[in-house]
Amino acid sequence: MPGPQENSRIYAVNDVDLYVDIKGDGEPLVLLHGGGGASQNWSLIFDAPPPGFRTIAPDLRGHGRSTNPSGAFSIRQCALDVLALLDGLDVGRFKAIGVSLGAKTLLHVATMQPARVEAMVIASATPYFPPQARSAMAQLTVESRTPQEWSQMRAWHVHGDAQIEAVWRAMHGLKDSYTDMNFTPPLLSTISARTLVVHGDRDPLYPVELGVEMYRAIPRASLWIVPGGGHGPIFGAQAAPFRSAALAFLREGG
């Protein structure tokens, strides 16, 4: 595997070709995007690598420039992919930021290998899928997507419309998943990373009470409830305050 001088490459990881964008120099900072998105979404938060960090931003399986030949999808498998990628990059202990799918992936990573994650920021995560999230996923069908949504997805995903349809089917299929996201308080208590839980108080998918539940269960957690924030309250007008708060948290000692 290449060292920090490499910028972007495709790596064979498990059963997929995983694209990763690596920028900057310093301690490793893993950036995990949301469901249906891609690594390039982080340019909306960081126009350049934060000083002192080497950012490692993969396209999760089936997303962006990554592949998923089997079509099988789980958040746990995304975490296994990320860990395998970091093994190949000779990255041991690291810090991380994830939003939505990426944040849920980090919950798996931080419970699979607790000593590996030094600190993490999880925005719009959930310990399990509540009814309103399952209802939204049930309505997320290929047939219901608008021309604007197709246009946006085509800008992010390079393997054609079949890939986009597969991403939407994967997100839709999570409505029937009950074991993939099943983080009880005892399981969350095994997370040793300093953790900043970021949650919008108007999240239509994951009620703010779920953010509080994670904050209470993770031993070294801090909680930021974003007033008026919806799902993924880290973009647009919220990007600058999120960037400032997230980096300040990650740079803290002990």
Which tens digit of pLDDT belongs to each residue from 118-140?
999 999 999 999 999 999 999 99
Q: Which of 36, 33, 34 is nearest to 140 (CA)?
A: 36
Instruction: Give φ, ψ of 125 to 5 degrees.
Output: -90, 180
Instruction: Give φ, ψ of 150 to 5 degrees.
Output: -60, -45
CA distance 183 to 64: 28
1 with 15: CB under 8 angstroms?
no
Give the pLDDT of residue 57: 98
Return the structure tokens found at 142: 């290929």
pTM above 0.85, yes or no: yes
Give the pLDDT of residue 254: 44
Give the pLDDT of residue 4: 40
Structural domain boundaries of the chain? Answer: 8-128+181-251
Q: Which residues pair with 98 in a beta bridge?
A: 32, 122
Q: Which residues of the chain fall below pLDDT 50?
A: 1-5, 254
Residues ≥6 apart with Cβ < 8 Å to 3: none
For the domain made up of 8-128+181-251, give the CATH fold.
Rossmann fold (3.40.50)
**3-state secondary structure at position 33:** coil
* Largest Cα–Cα separation, the chain: 49
CA distance 66 to 60: 7
Give the pLDDT of residue 132: 97
**pLDDT tens digits for range 9-48:** 999 999 999 999 999 999 999 999 999 999 999 999 999 9
Give the pLDDT of residue 47: 92
